Structure 1
């Protein structure tokens, strides 16, 4: 089982419009509501693909009641920690060319007892060799050390830890040396304190983190796919999507595929290919809808162990 801790889940509403015209009254072509948050999306993707996942989240207030119902309908196993505050609601505006505009709330304030309950719920049944992922932003009241604590406690139990976050919480977690991290290029640049405009620059930065003890650094690169760096070197995976719909949650689906592959015994390159395939499939779906097996059938992923280091990366 793969455990996904999401300290700041959300109710995600995705609205499709012909064009986002700021300041105007717009008519939505369609809309959908999903349970959201990075770890929630990871768990939903794993469940959709037949994997075994457990989502751990705080939830409260009227939005939390809606979140609980939406999450129960996905079929993914969950542990919900009740809180006094209200779960946040995020809005994504989608345009026909795949352009996505996101409006994310900060989330409810968590008390120290809430943090302790979340960690207890996430760590309670971990066994040696299992994967646990700490995913997403932290809500108000959560200490920047939350994911670092998760790393230390999980590794003390012999578990493998993946972190997908940003900012100070991500930096603290990286310093605690998780097994795997999955930043996007912008998050890696923020962590390293320098721009990363080529594939070679991304690979070199990831290699620095591997030298510090992190086993696997997977960096999502948008339309340029993803690169995975380990002590064995770098592998680059990419696929072509001609009909994008929404990028929301694509990186989470990529992480789900990567963890599913690694948990099933795939070599890192094969797991990366799986992750890129899952993430690409998500881009062709509305809102934060996650792909199922049928969504992968026409996708081909190209892998190379000799990445084009001079490749310029899109902004």
Structure 2
């Protein structure tokens, strides 16, 4: 079983527009409502693929109830920790050419007592899980080292730990030696404290992270695919070009594909890129179904250190 922990889930409303023009009244051609949050998306993609999963999350107010309601038809079991605040709502604006603009609310403040329950539920679920996946931003009231704390709890219970976050929470999580981290290019550059303009720069940073105790680093590179660095090898995978309908959740789908395919090695890397590629062809933050995913169309390559990277966040 794969347990996802999403401290700051959301209800995602996606509007399709012909063009985003500031200061004007715009009419959406289509609107879609999806359960959101990085870990929630990972569980959605895993459930669609038939992998046992549980989504652990704080939920408050009518939005929190609606979030759980939307996950039920997708076959995602939810363990909700009640909170006094209201779960956030996010807005995504997608233009005809695939350009995506996101407006994310900060989320509710979580009290120390609510946070303690979230930690307790994590430890309980980790005792029967293969992976605990810590995902997304942290709301107010949650310390930066929260994912490091959850990682220790999960490890003590016998589970492997993956972290998909950014900024201070990701940097703090490294101290616990997670088995896997999944940044995108921008997040890895922030972690490194410098621009990463070529694939060689990415590989150099990933190898340093592995040397410091991270089990493996899976970096999503948008249209440039993904790179996987662990103790034994460095691999680059590239998917086919597809028409981009929305980039929201593509990195989450890639992580789900990686874990679904075993969570290690070339086969998992190929699945990660196949899932990420399938996700950008979906509307809103819809996760791909198995029939949308084509690992046989993904090429495994040697990592070319001179490959130029740009616009590769996912």
- Distance in 2, matches of 1:298 and 1:195, equals 30
- Find the residue that maps to 2:277 and give its secondary structure: helix
Alpha-carbon shift at residue 68 of structure 1 (Å): 2.0
Equivalent runs, 1:32-71 vs 2, <5 Å:
32-71=32-71
1:286 aligns to 2:283 (yes or no): yes
Matched position secondary structure for 1:262: coil
**1:1-315 to 2 correspondences below 5 Å:** 1-127=1-127, 130-262=130-262, 267-297=264-294, 300-304=297-301, 306-315=302-311
CA contact (8 A) 2:270 2:295 kept: no
Report the alpha carbon displacement of residue 299 of structure 1 after superposing the two structures with TM: 6.4
CA 92–249 in structure 1, closer or farther in 2 if over 3 Å, else same: same
Bigger shift: residues 69-78 or 273-282: 69-78
Task: Report if aligned partners of 1:16, 1:31 keep a CA contact under 8 Å in 2.
Answer: yes
Question: Per the alignment, do residues 188 and 297 of structure 1 end up closer, same or farther by CA in structure 2, a change over 3 Å counting?
Answer: closer
Q: Give 5+ residue unaligned stretches, structure 1.
A: none
Kindly tell me the number of residue pairs found equivalent between the two proteins: 311
* CA apart distance, 1:240: 2.2
Q: Distance in 2 between matches of 1:14 and 1:43?
A: 20
What is the CA-CA distance between 1:153 and the residue it aligns to?
Answer: 1.3
Post-superposition shift, 1:223?
0.6
Separation in 2, partners of 1:158, 1:191: 28
Q: Which moves more between the two structures, 243-252 or 168-177?
A: 168-177
Give 1:196 deviation, angstroms.
0.5
Rounded Cα–Cα distance in structure 2 between residues aligned with 1:128 and 1:288: 29
- The separation in 1 between residues aligned to 2:43 and 2:240, in whole angstroms, is 25
Please give the TM-score of this superposition, normalised by the length of structure 1: 0.96
Asked if structure 1 preserves the Cα contact closer than 8 Å seen for 2:3 and 2:129, the reply is: no
Instruction: Give, in whole Å, the separation in 2 of the partners of 1:275 and 1:56.
Output: 22
3-state SS in 1 of match to 2:269? helix
How far has the Cα of 1:233 moved from its partner?
2.2
Aligned alpha-carbon RMSD (Å): 1.3
Structure 2, unaligned stretches of length 5 or more?
none
3-state SS in 1 of match to 2:285 = coil
How far has the Cα of 1:126 moved from its partner?
A: 2.1
Contact 1:239–1:299 under 8 Å retained in 2: no
The structural deviation recorded for 1:71 is 1.9
Q: What's the TM-score once normalised by structure 2's chain length? A: 0.96
The Cα offsets for residues 121-173 of structure 1, whole Å up to 9 and x where unpaired, read as 12203247711100000001111111010111111222100000011111100
- Indicate if the aligned counterparts of 1:147 and 1:169 stay in contact, CA closer than 8 A: yes
Q: Deviations 1:5-31 (Å, cap 9, x if unpaired)?
A: 000000000000000111110110101
Displacement of 1:241 in angstroms is 2.6
- Structure 1 stretch 63-72 or stretch 98-107: which is displaced more? 63-72
